[in-house]
Structures are given as structure tokens and as C-alpha cells.
Amino acid sequence: MLAQPSSVASHFVLCQVYDPRRVAAVVLQEQLQSTGMTGMSAVVVLLDTSSLAFQKVAFSAESGDLSKISSLTLDNLPEDSVGRSEELPNDYVWASAMRVMSTRGVCSVYAWRAHRLLTLDMEADPDEDEEDG
């Protein structure tokens, strides 16, 4: 997993608990294209939540009032708590399922529309990947 900050808007699509202190998620990242249009790319994020403070918030979905829910961006988190994969192939923008297995160190993402399954090594050292290339 790469550990690099992102300066683009990100949207969590799928998320699963990876282990007691981390969650894995398929995240869509907006990309401004040269035409001025916004495109999307998909990445898998491994997020260490052990240092985050969680608070209960009284919220009624029917009221539509979201002001009591604080938001947090991936950029606001410590750099070493967010690991990102390389961009996934375009088909995974429409990912429909994910399964994680920390005992094997993997995350599988399924793109239903393309009938494709991709399995990532979640414990890979990014420095090793760069040396292999």
C-alpha cells in the first residue's frame, strides 16, 4: 500500500473491517481532466483508526440535519495512518463487492458490470514494489 496524501475529493463506496484497528475501503477519487470535466478513479485505502476519537451523535435521518456530524478528510489524518493502492483499472469505479482477510493479508474487489475480481496484497511494502519495477 502506498502512503501518500491525496488533494482530491474522495468518496467511500465500500468498506470492511480489516482487523481490530484498521478498515479497508474502496474509495473513488475525483480527477479534474484537461477538458474541465471531472472523472473518477478507484483506489483501495487501508485506514488505521486506532488513533481516532469517536463520539456518539444524536442524529435523526428524517430531519436531514447533518450539522452535528463532523466530517474528516483523509488529508487531515496522519500520513502513516492512510495507505493507498495504485489506481485500480477503470472497471473498478463500479466495484460492487469487497472482501478482506487480514489473516492472509489480502483484499478482493469485485466489479460486477465487468465480471472481474482483483485481489490486492494489503501487507506489501511499497519500497519492494518500486524495486521490482
What is residue 70's predicted lDDT score, i.e. its pLDDT?
72
Per residue in 99-126, pLDDT (tens digit) is: 999 999 999 999 988 899 999 999 887 6
Q: What is the pTM of this model?
A: 0.76
Contact, 1 vs 85, CB < 8 A? Answer: yes
What is residue 3's predicted lDDT score, i.e. its pLDDT?
42
Lowest mean pLDDT segment, chosen from 4-13, 17-26, 68-77: 4-13
Cβ atoms < 10 Å from Cβ of 23: 16
What is residue 40's predicted lDDT score, i.e. its pLDDT?
87
Residue 106 phi, psi (nearest 5) = -130, 160
Measured CA to CA, the distance from residue 24 to residue 121 in angstroms comes to: 12
Q: What is the C-alpha radius of gyration for the chain, rounded to an integer number of angstroms?
A: 16
What is residue 127's predicted lDDT score, i.e. its pLDDT?
60
- In whole numbers, what is the pLDDT of the chain averaged over residues? 82
Q: Which residue has the higher pLDDT, 1 or 68?
A: 68
